[in-house]
Amino acid sequence: MRALSWLTVLAAMLTTPGYARAEAVQLQHDGRTLNADLTLPAGGDISGGLVVLVHGTLMHGRMEIMAALQKGLAERGVGSLAITLSLGLNDRRGPYDCATPHRHMLDDTAREIGAWTQWAKERGAARVDLAGHSRGGAQVAYALANHTVSGVRRVVLIAPAVSEPGEVATGYEKTYGIPLAALLAGAITRSAAPDTLLRPIGFLTCRDAAVAPRTFLDNYTGLSRHDTPTLLARIGDPTLVVIAGNDEVVRGLDRRLPPASDRLRIVTVDGADHQFLDLYGEDLAEAVATFIKE
């Protein structure tokens, strides 16, 4: 079965009984226009509560897993807001173009997540829950651990990112053929010049990127800030971690999580890949909706 595109999912939501329309919304924050997609169950309104959804690395709120999850949640009576992080750009909508210089920082991302949760509260959401996928899961955990976001009811981390120093360095060299340590040393040397760009350089999922030195350092040093298992210890909200049974991107998550508890629930979707494609998306939506509605 082929994964559904955003347009296919949107068409289904507009024409199938039981779905509300998807509505594009915007927020002005820190001099930029931010975009998100609001989806409510048929007959529902925002007062019933919202799950704010955060996408993965350099992607956007309309990527397949976000669109499918919004559809699945609406089908189960749960409203959601899939945000698109600006990553330092104004009015960003689609995937981040690797040719565009990278100047985004983790703390800015955390503040945007906080701005959207506040937006939901100000528009009358009786409860606000927060969910993130992949790197977005780690970013959600970071925002909560550092109190950039507060007042959410429940947290869902979907195949959230892990960042162990040795594995990150090994993976970087394997992917880009250059030792990470040498690049970090160069970035430190050049970080005092704010207009400098490191180029061409491998960065996240971009092979030939142009990256501000401080952005490169922000992503590849202080790795505990990007490591979900480490951040979990600092989150007091009830949390669900969803593991993809056949995850080819995030590896070793299950062995590094603390034991399940009253505060932490762990669910594995057997057979799912990192994007929870096809029918595994239904299993994901069911797990998230069940946890949110408790």
Q: How far apart are CA 139 and CA 220, in angstroms?
A: 14
pTM for this one? 0.92
pLDDT 10s digits, 105-127: 999 999 999 999 999 999 999 99
Quick one: pLDDT at residue 21? 63
pLDDT 10s digits, 49-89: 999 999 999 999 999 999 999 999 999 999 999 999 999 99
Of residues 191 and 250, more confidently modeled? 250
pLDDT band at residue 36 using 50, 70 and 90 as cut-offs = very high
- Residue 57 three-state SS: coil
Quick one: pLDDT at residue 18? 54
The DSSP result for 169-191, as a single string, is HHHHHHHHSS-HHHHHHHHHHHT
Tokens linked to 236: 């007091």
Q: How far apart are CA 265 and CA 235, in angstroms?
A: 13
Separation in Å, CA 289 to CA 36, 76, 174, 240? 20, 7, 38, 11
What DSSP character marks residue 253? H
Decide: 81 and 127 in contact? Cβ < 8 Å: no
pLDDT of residue 16 exceeding 90, the answer is no
CB neighbours of 124 closer than 8 A, spacing ≥ 6? 45, 46, 47
Quick one: pLDDT at residue 71? 97
CB neighbours of 163 closer than 8 A, spacing ≥ 6? 138, 223, 224, 226, 227
Decide: 133 and 161 in contact? Cβ < 8 Å: no
Cβ-count burial of 182 within 10 angstroms (0-12 exposed, 13-18 middle, 19+ buried)?
A: exposed
